[in-house]
Structure 1
């Protein structure tokens, strides 16, 4: 993208946290990397629509049943009738991150500096009436563009590479690039990166096959241990140079807990304003990509319009 600072130029301002790009889109910006999804980028992405096939990437809101990880609240539906009319209403209560989700800019700060995107503080966020960095700002135009699936799971099976979703482990950048090369994917600036870690060994598939006592035991492990994308300068540079958002089927996108002295969440969310999608359902998507012989598609995701919201179900479709 013309005018994009080099990764080596980060942080943009002396004294700001490492790798941060605060002020790139203005001091009061709340869109971050979504500024990369210009009208021209979205118009070009719309050329991916050729057959009209639509595939949801949303897990059910109650996907983690009654024992979600990270101590998050379970989904609950209260349905009631309204006599004397033959009418039903229902009330939903749930944690916005207990199923498929976009992490918003209020979710994760630079831990040492205690600063969110563009230097916003915890006091700023919790001030009465504050909506700064709220995910509702993303709802105006949504997260819409060209999606690219890197089917790491299929590639690793072909190459006899082990993967255990409930153990701390990293997916190296060199392997993700090898997946893209094997699929013949050409990444374009502004793409929405989606990584499939597995089916037989993928997180939600593995989760659904566990017994309740096994899930309860895993949920008690603090911090939780999950496999995911490696923490490295190279991964950060790759994302900086190419993508508008990143997502996967893992609970934390990145390896958890971190294996370095920083977390991708810090830089992506607090440093750049880059949305992180987690727990996406990628099984039907991967099957269609293989059948169609293409791993790029149009993405439309409308986050919930909650002013000051921390995260949101993605309400996401891939369209071919």
Structure 2
């Protein structure tokens, strides 16, 4: 079988075409948002919100409401509860995040187990990339477009908030509102990625691309190009690997992102561990 046949054979199936479009959209949206999450230091918050939306998604399914609505409601609820626990007890923020998101995630698992459904709601937890329908694809594309549009329109304010929230406040920009905006976008992005990789692995798509790009450049504008490009490429490669290796598609895609991060961490041109050591050794070696 020629390389061209290997490339084109999966695309003869409609479910693979829908899966390919879905993972590209989800990868790009998650990667762009991840650039801000990494800079602000919201990796753990991304984990919390992505898991906390599970009960909202299940309840939205029960009442026939849009998944995005349930996700945003429970994403905001998670943030409010984290702040309440942190401000009214001796518990620190990281512990409050762990308590709230695990509790809400457990609630979501309970709701999944007791909700009568003709659809296997476990796909929300573990993802069902190959089962994306045309309706799902429209919802994913619509939510992805909304998130990307808001991020691009407000990118200057959000970037200032990430680097210097005190300066943002001094010039009349509300850091609290920008933080709330990011949290709302985070909840919507979690819904976009749910179908692809499930709640369990969403946090990887929200953190790994931005962290990888952060190791490759010092300029934020370049991060916004590198992160989605690498993420989309990993999504496509992971999907093809899962097709031919007969493995779980979502897990394979996230594993591909992890491998790329490891390679960049070790062999990156500027900050790679191996590259840096070789450069230092070369500089120490006397010229004959």
Normalising by structure 2, we get a TM-score of 0.26
Larger Rg: 2
> Which structure shows the higher strand fraction?
1
> Which structure shows the higher helix fraction?
2
Normalising by structure 1, we get a TM-score of 0.24
